[in-house]
Amino acid sequence: MIEWANNWARGIRARQENSEAVGGFFSEIGDLNVVHHLWAYEDLHHRKNTRQAAWQKSGWDNTVYYTVPLIREMKSMIMIPLSYSPLK
C-alpha cells in the first residue's frame, strides 16, 4: 500500500491540471488496502480526452508503470451526481 501510494502521489500531479480529481480514500477497516479514487468529468467525451492527455504529461507513464503491478483487482463505475451535489 505504501509503495503504491508513494508512486501515485508523485504521478497525480500529471492529472491535477484538469482539476478532475475529487478524492482518494483507502480502507483500514473491512477489506484492507482497498483504494477508491474519484474523478469528475463533464461527460464521457471529456473523460476520454482527459485520460488521453494524461499520457502527454511528464510522470504519468511512470505512475502507471510502477502502480499497475501492485493492483490485484480494478473496477470502474460511472456515477451521476444528485441535483444538490456541488459536482453538478
Domain that holds residue 12: 2-70
Q: How confident is the model at residue 23 (pLDDT cuts 50, 70, 90)?
A: confident
**HSE of 10, CA atoms in CB hemisphere, 13 A:** 15
**Coil, strand, or helix at residue 68?**
helix
Q: Which three cell numbers stand for residue 61?
A: 507513464
Total tally of structural domains belonging to the chain: 1
pLDDT in tens, 30-80: 998 898 888 888 889 988 998 898 888 888 898 899 989 988 999 999 998
In a domain, 79, yes or no: no
Q: Does residue 18 have a pLDDT over 70?
A: no
Helix axes 2-11, 60-67, angle to 10 degrees: 170
| 59 or 20: which leads in pLDDT | 59
Q: Is residue 76 part of a domain?
A: no
**Could you tell me the pTM of the whole model?**
0.75
Q: Is residue 11 part of a domain?
A: yes
CATH number at 64 reads 3.30.70.100
